[in-house]
Structure 1
Amino acid sequence: MKFSTLMTASLLALAAGPAVAQDKTINIAGFGASSGVVGIFGQNSGAAMAAAVEKINAEGGVTLADGSQASLVTTYYDDRCNAEEGISVLRRIASTDALVAVGPTCSNVAEPLFGILQAKVDDAGDTGLQFPVFTDVAIKGGLAGISEWVFRNTPSESTMYDSLFAWIRETHPDAKTIYGGVEEDFAHSRFTWYEVMRKAAENHGFEVVGEAQWLLNDTNFSNQARGMRRAEPDVVAISAHPFTTCGMLREMARQRVEPKVLVGLTSSSSLETLTGCANEAEGIIIPTSFAPVNEGAQSAAAAVVANGGQLDLHSAAAWENIMILKDVIEAAGIEGTDASREEDRRKIRDGLAALTEAPGLLGMNKRMPDGEAVKPYVFVDAENGKWEVLHNPGS
C-alpha cells in the first residue's frame, strides 16, 4: 500500500460522519536518551514529537474508526542511552495505553531492545513482545531486520557516504589518502567508520593511511591528533558525536592538522557541534537528511524551537514519524478503546509494514520491505557558524 492510498483513506475517514468533541486520546510514546552526553538528541526528539502533536491537534486531531475525533498525546521517557534501561522503558510503555513508541536514540540500545520483540509476526512459538516501535534516531544500519515489529525512519548512511566520497573524488581529484577517527565505544560511530565511511572511501579510490580511536567520554585527543599529523592525509573523516568531534577538532587545530577535506558523522550535523566548536568545524562536510531548505522544513523547525528543541536529521525524523503515524492511524481504522488496544497496536504495525513511501521534510521517503527507509539528503558544510547546503545530489 502506497502512502497515497493511506492519504485517500484518511480523507474518506474525515468525510465520514460528524466529528464529536475531542474527549478521546491516542497515546504515542517517545523514548531515548534525554540525559547524559548524548541527551540533547532525546531532548530534541521529544520537542519535535510535542510540536508535531500540537500541529495535528490544532488541525482537528485524528479520526477514529467510528468517525469520532481524538487528540494525540505523547510522553517522552529517558533511557539514558543504556540498553537495560531502554528495555525496561519499552516494557513500561507497553504496559500503558500507548499504541506505538517512537525511539530509541542510541544504536547500542536499539539492537538488544529490538531483540525482545517478536521476531516474526504470528509466530506462535515466539513469545517476544508484540508492540510497534518506529525509530527516529538510532541509525546503525540493518537493525530493523531484527523484528517485524520494528520500523525505522533513519537515513541510509551507506547511500549517503557512498555519494559523498564519489563527489569528493570528483571535486578534489588531487585528494588521494584518508585518515579515520572513531568514537570506538559508541555503536553508531564505530559501525559508520568501519562499515560505511571507510568502505565508501576505499571504493572510490582513497587509500586509508591510518585510524585513531577514542571513547565517548574522552577529553584528551593529543595522541590521536599526533598520529594524524604524521600521516599527512588529504582527507580526515571523524566518526563521532558532537562532544568528541569538537574535542578532536580543537586538538587538530592546536597541532595544525590541516587536511584538504574534512568529513563528519551524520549525527554531528547539529547545532551542538557549532555551539561547541564553530571555528574549528569550519568547512567540515556532512551528509544529512534534514536542512531547512523549503517552507515545510522551515515551519517544522520553528515549531520545534518553540517547544524548546532544535530540528536536525534525528529530530526531523521524530516529527515525520508523528505525521506518518497520524495517517496510519486514520487509514487503519483505530478504535482507541481499552478493549481494542492490542488489536490497534497490530493495526498500526500492519499499516507501517504496508507503506512503500511516505512524505518527509525534504521530499518523499521510500519505505523498504525490511522496515528501513531511504530518504532524500543533502551535503552541508559549516560556514560562519551555520550549516549551509553545499550540494544536493538529488538536484
Structure 2
Amino acid sequence: MKKGMTWLAAMAVCVTLAAPAQAADPIKIGVQGAQSGDLASYGVPSLNAVKIVVDEANAKGGLLGRTIEVVAQDDQCKPEMATNAATKLISDKVDAVVGPICSGPTKASLPMFQEAALIAVSPTATTPGLTEDGKNPLFFRTVANDNAQASLTSDFMLNNLKVKKVAYLHDNGDYGKGFADKNREIMEKGGTETVLFEAVTPDAVDFSAVVRKLRRAKPDIIVFGGYQPVASKLLQQMRRDNLKTPLIGPDGVKDETFLKMTGKDSEGTYASYPKDTSTLPEYKKAREAHIKAFGSEPGFGYYNAYAAAQCLLAAMEKAGSTDTAKIKDVLRENQVDTPLGKLSFNAKGDAAGMGLSIYQVKDGKFVELDHSIVLE
C-alpha cells in the first residue's frame, strides 16, 4: 500500500511538472521567402533580420514567459513553391509569419494564411491589391506599395527630369507589371508619350531584340518593373550596345548585387527606396547586430524585415497573447521605433510613417536625392 501511494505521488509530480512545460512551448515566428535561387539576395537578409530580432528578445528572457523560435521556409520567390512553403509553416503551427517577401508568392499564400487565421507581415511585397478591398485583413507590410513608389517615381520624372517620351519594360510579374502600369497611368495623364510598353522574359539571356526596339523608340527614360537580376542583364546589354538611355525602377533595383553585376553600367540609374534613416539609433543597432552576427553589411530588405519582426513581437507583448485577433488589433494602433522610423499601419495594413526617396547611382553607389514622400 505504501509503495502504491509512493508511485501515485510520483505520477502526480510528473503531471504537475509537465503542465507548465507544455504551456511554455516556444512562440514560433515563420519566415517565408527566397532563401535560395536567383532572388536569395532578397530573402536571406530578411531571414537574418528575424533571427537577430528573435535572438535579442530571447537574450532578454523571451516573450510572455516563453522563448521564441524561427521557422524558415524557402519559396525561391516562386508562386508555385509558395503554397507548399505556406502549408509547412501552418503545419508547424507558427504563431505569425514574416513574409512572404515577393508579391507573387504572397498572393498565392495569403488565402492559406487567412484560412489558418495567421497574421503575415511582409517586409517587401509591394503589389497594391494585397491590401485592397479588405480581402486580406490579416496581412500587413513594412514597405511602400507599388502605387506609392510609382507616384514618387512619376513625379520625379515629370517635374525633375521633364521627360516627354517613356518606354516601359517589365517582367510580367505582379510586382514588375504593377509598377510599370501605375507609372504609365500617371505619366500619360501628365502629358508624356508612351513609345514602348513590353514584357521581357526573366530567364532570357539575349535582350538584343528589346534593345533594338528601344533604339528605334528613342525614349527619354526607361521605366523598368521587376527584380535586379533582369534589370542587371538588361542594362548590361543596353550599355554594351551603346544605348545610354537612363533607367528608373522600384525598390527591387536598389540592391548591392545589382551594383556588383553591372559595375560602371549602372551609373545614373534611378530607383525608389525607403528614406535613409541611418542616423537613427534603431538603424545603427540593427546594422551593428548584422555585422557582428554575419560579418557583413545588411542586404536588401533587411531593415524592413527587422521592423516587421519588431512590430510583431511588440504587438504580442502589448496584447499579452499570441492570439491572432488580439495581435491584429494592437498592430493597427501601435507605433514602434524601428530602423525605418516610428512605424505603424493604416486601416488597410500598409506601412504608415516611413519615408520613401529617389536614389541614383553615382560613382558606383546609390545616393539619396532630395525627392521623397512620407507614407500615411
The answer to whether the superposition gives a TM-score over 0.5 is: yes
Letter of the structure 1 residue corresponding to residue 73 of structure 2: Y
State the Cα distance separating 1:330 from its structure 2 match. 1.1
Question: Greater CA deviation, 270-279 or 300-309?
Answer: 300-309
Query: Equivalent residue for 1:350?
Result: 329
Partners of 1:107 and 1:327 lie apart in 2 by 25
Q: Matched residue of 1:115: which SS?
A: helix
Q: Secondary structure at the match of 1:233?
A: coil
Partner of 1:271: 256
Q: How does 1:251-270 map to 2 (within 5 A)?
A: 251-259=237-245, 261-270=246-255
2:161 is equivalent to residue 183 of structure 1: no
Cα deviation per residue 1:120-143 (whole Å; 9 max; x = unaligned)?
A: xxxxxxxx2222211222221121
AA aligned to 2:343 is N
TM alignment of 1:223-238, pairs within 5 A: 223-238=209-224
SS of structure 1 residue aligned to 2:301: helix
* Structure 1 residues 84 and 249: CA distance shift in structure 2, 3 A: closer
Instruction: Note the alpha carbon deviations across 1:272-311, whole angstroms, 9 max, x for none.
Output: 1111113111111111115453243243233234444754
Does structure 1 residue 193 correspond to structure 2 residue 183? no
Tell which deviates more after alignment, 109-118 or 281-290.
109-118
Q: Which residue of 2 aligns with 1:214?
A: 200
Q: Match for residue 31 of structure 2? A: 30
Q: Which amino acid aligns with 2:118?
A: F
SS of equivalent to 1:198: helix
Aligned-pair distance for 1:250?
A: 0.9
Contact 2:79 2:108 in 1 (8 A): yes
TM-score (norm 2): 0.84
**Structure 2 stretches lacking a partner, 5+ long:** 1-23
Q: Which amino acid aligns with 2:116?
A: L
Rate the CA distance shift 1:394–1:149 in 2: closer, same or farther, 3 A: closer
Contact 1:285 1:382 in 2 (8 A): yes
Query: What is aligned with 1:103?
Result: 99
2:160 aligns with one of 146, 158, 171: 171
Deviations for 1:306-329, whole angstroms, at most 9, x for unmatched residues? Answer: 444754562321100111112111
Q: What is residue 299 of structure 1 aligned with on the other side?
A: 285
Hey, which of these two has a bigger chunk of helix by percent? 2
The size of the alignment, in residue pairs, is 346
Instruction: Name 1:319's counterpart in structure 2.
Output: 306
- Structure 1 residues 312, 367: closer, same or farther in 2, change over 3 A? farther
- In structure 2, what is the Cα distance between the partners aligned to 1:305 and 1:45? 14
**Structure 1 position 232, deviation (Å):** 1.2
- The one of the two structures with greater contact order (alpha-carbon pairs below 8 A, sep at least 6) is 1
Which has the higher mean CA deviation after the structures are superposed, 301-310 or 33-42? 301-310
**Secondary structure in 1 matching 2:323:** helix
What is the aligned partner in structure 2 of residue 77 from structure 1?
73
The CA deviation at 1:246 is: 0.9
Q: Is the 8 A contact 1:61 1:72 kept in 2?
A: no
Q: Hey, what's the Cα distance between the residues in 1 that align with 2:347 and 2:104?
A: 23
Structure-2 change in CA distance of 1:103 and 1:310 (3 Å): farther
Contact 1:139/1:188 (CA < 8 Å) preserved in 2? yes
Classify 1:393/1:278 alpha carbon distance in 2 versus 1 (closer, same or farther; 3 Å). Answer: same
Q: Which of the pair has more CA radius of gyration?
A: 2
Kindly report the root-mean-square deviation, in angstroms, between the aligned alpha carbons of the 2 structures: 2.4
3-state SS, counterpart of residue 76 of structure 2: coil
Alpha-carbon distance between aligned partners in 2 of 1:376 and 1:38, rounded to the nearest angstrom: 25
C-alpha contact 1:212 1:227 (8 A) present in aligned 2: no
| Structure 1 residues 394 and 330: alpha-carbon distance in aligned structure 2, compared to 1, 3 A threshold | same
One-letter amino acid of the structure 2 residue matched with residue 106 of structure 1: C
Q: Structure 1 unaligned segments of length 5 or more: list them.
A: 1-22, 119-127, 335-342
Q: Tell me what 1:280 maps to.
A: 265
Change over 3 Å in CA distance of 1:107–1:56 after alignment to 2: same
1:338-366 deviations in Å (ceiling 9; x for gaps): xxxxx6233323332x3365444232334
Contact 2:99/2:122, CA 8 A, preserved across alignment: yes
Matched with 1:93 is 89
Identity %: 21
Give the letter aligned to residue 274 of structure 1. L
Please name the residue that 1:365 is paired with.
343
Alpha-carbon distance change, 357 to 208 in structure 1, aligned in 2, over 3 angstroms: farther
